[in-house]
């Protein structure tokens, strides 16, 4: 008979519930009935060692944690700034939040112990300040000029500038092949810390909303408001459902990505047709909807013009989504043959700055191989492959 794992029942139950995993889902992971799982969580029977290890992996918890005498102190949930009525956070979202919290806590402790300088821009402003002033400070600090982007998709430029200034940026859309992140559930979140601020962007979204999310989350750092966001792009509808912090950060992002002086100096033909709007929005790396709201707020277009252009933009966007769905289908077919670059995916998920920091600490003998591997989600003997992606 297989050896039994004499785990602490309430810890086992807590691990499942904190992963937001249903009893049916957890039971299926170890091929047992829900009743059997309930017995383990009640302490009337015990799982085998292998079953307990499988559950630990499924809940993304250390196996040894199940043997603690009581429920351990866990990371505190991030403040939920999402729109009222949003989907409850599911397992995928809980796992990525916990993963980033672990990374952030580790690097913040390291920097604090090494007496690194605190980052002056974290919490430099508050929600009481002018959003335009905050936006100008972000652009000045990161040395970004939206009129002079170097590429068609400027998000990489923003990420590089953020990480050059000590802000860790993680971007992914999956936990594993079976756990994907839903952009309607979570678009991004920020952990405002004076030593190691972290920003997460859900790459399940298309490029323009990703960029808006990134800058929105940077605004959270500038006003030191840690929390989760979704539906961050500006919209005239549903503003009453948004948290005041979200409204403020949307304003900051709009001012940073579409500065007043740039938008006011656009050619009048920029807002004649939806195709003109799309061309203008693409130059600034934002969506047609975002530039239309900005133009309306700056009195460049009237409400009737806004409504007409928005309707046409929605039709165009629907066509765009169809084309994107076809592209994704082709991409999936290619991935079946070769698959995406695992190490590039992990690099973006960890953040390039975080990856380089951990690898430097490992190479210098400051951290153990096991810790380095856990922090980077990559086996030690594959570090060279991960590192090769840093310089591409």
- pLDDT greater than 70 at residue 4: yes
Structure tokens at 86: 């949003």
Q: What was the pLDDT predicted at 332? A: 62
Which of 87-91, 164-168, 209-213 is modeled with the greatest confidence? Answer: 164-168
Residue 338 has pLDDT above 60, yes or no: no
Same domain, 294 and 382: no
How far is the C-alpha of 359 from the C-alpha of 380, rounded, in Å? 10
Within-domain flag for 4: no
Q: Region 96-113: what's the mean pLDDT?
A: 95
Q: What is the pLDDT of residue 220?
A: 98
pLDDT tens-digit series, residues 345-356: 999 999 999 999
pLDDT confidence of residue 104: 96
Residue 371 and residue 245 share a domain? no
Residue 292 domain boundaries: 274-338
pLDDT at 289: 92
Ranges assigned E (strand) in 131-248: 168-172, 174-176, 179-180, 188-191, 198-202, 227-229
> Considering the domain boundaries, does residue 127 fall inside one?
yes
Please give the residue that has the higher pLDDT: either 189 or 331: 189
Residue 320 pLDDT > 80, yes or no? no
The helix/strand count (H/E) of the chain reads as: 17, 6
d(CA 248, CA 229): 12
Q: pLDDT-based confidence at 317, cuts 50/70/90?
A: confident
231 plus 246 within the same structural domain? yes
Residues 284 and 229 in one domain: no
pLDDT cut 90: percent of the chain above it? 75
Beta-sheet strands, E only, within 53-153: none
pLDDT in tens, 272-300: 999 999 999 999 999 999 999 999 999 99
Mean pLDDT of all residues belonging to the chain? 91
115 shares its domain with 164: yes
What is the number of structural domains in the chain?
4
Same domain, 136 and 204: yes
Q: Could you tell me which of 295, 266, 261 has the C-alpha nearest to residue 283?
A: 266
Domain's final residue, options 67, 83, 108: 67
242 dihedral zone (left: phi>0; alpha: psi -120 to 50; beta): beta
Co-location of 373 and 347 in the same domain? yes
Is residue 79 included in any domain, yes or no? Answer: no
Q: Is the pLDDT of residue 1 over 70?
A: no
What does the pLDDT look like over 14-55, one tens digit per residue? 999 999 999 999 999 999 999 999 999 999 999 999 999 999
> Which strand (E) or helix (H) includes residue 327?
helix 303-337
Q: For residue 217, what pLDDT is reported? A: 98
The model's pTM is 0.88
């Amino acid at each position: 008979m297989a050896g039994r794992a004499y785990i602490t029942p309430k810890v086992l139950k807590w691990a499942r519930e904190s992963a937001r995993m249903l009893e049916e889902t957890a039971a299926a992971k170890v091929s047992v009935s829900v009743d059997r799982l309930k017995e383990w969580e009640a302490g009337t029977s015990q799982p085998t060692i292998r079953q307990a290890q499988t559950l630990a992996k499924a809940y993304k918890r250390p196996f040894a944690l199940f043997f603690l005498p009581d429920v351990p102190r866990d990371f505190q949930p991030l403040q939920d700034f999402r729109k009222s009525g949003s989907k409850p956070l599911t397992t995928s979202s809980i796992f990525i939040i916990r993963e980033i919290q672990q990374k952030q806590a580790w690097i913040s402790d390291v920097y604090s112990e090494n007496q690194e300088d605190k980052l002056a821009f974290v919490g430099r402003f508050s929600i009481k300040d002018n959003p335009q002033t905050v936006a100008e400070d972000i652009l000045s600090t990161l040395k970004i000029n939206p009129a002079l982007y170097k590429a068609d998709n400027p998000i990489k430029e923003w990420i590089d500038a953020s990480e050059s200034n000590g802000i860790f940026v993680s971007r992914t859309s999956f936990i594993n092949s079976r756990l994907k992140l839903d952009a309607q559930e979570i678009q991004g979140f920020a952990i405002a810390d004076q030593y190691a601020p972290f920003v997460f962007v859900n790459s399940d979204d298309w490029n323009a909303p990703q960029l808006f999310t990134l800058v929105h989350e940077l605004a959270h750092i500038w006003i030191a408001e840690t929390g989760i966001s979704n539906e961050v792009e500006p919209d005239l509808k549903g503003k009453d459902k948004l948290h005041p912090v979200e409204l403020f950060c949307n304003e900051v992002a709009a001012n940073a990505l579409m500065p007043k002086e740039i938008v006011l100096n656009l050619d009048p033909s920029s807002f004649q047709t939806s195709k003109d709007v799309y061309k203008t929005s693409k130059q600034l790396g934002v969506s047609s909807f975002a530039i239309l709201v900005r133009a309306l707020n700056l009195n460049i277009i009237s409400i009737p013009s806004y409504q007409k252009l928005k309707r046409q933009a929605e039709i165009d966007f629907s066509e765009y989504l169809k084309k994107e769905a076809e592209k994704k289908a082709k991409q999936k077919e290619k991935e079946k043959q070769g698959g995406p670059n695992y190490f590039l995916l992990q690099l973006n998920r960890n953040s390039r700055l975080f990856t380089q920091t951990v690898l430097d600490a490992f190479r210098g003998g400051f951290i153990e191989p096991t810790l380095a591997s856990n922090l980077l989600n990559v086996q030690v003997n594959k570090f060279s492959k991960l590192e090769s992606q840093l310089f591409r």
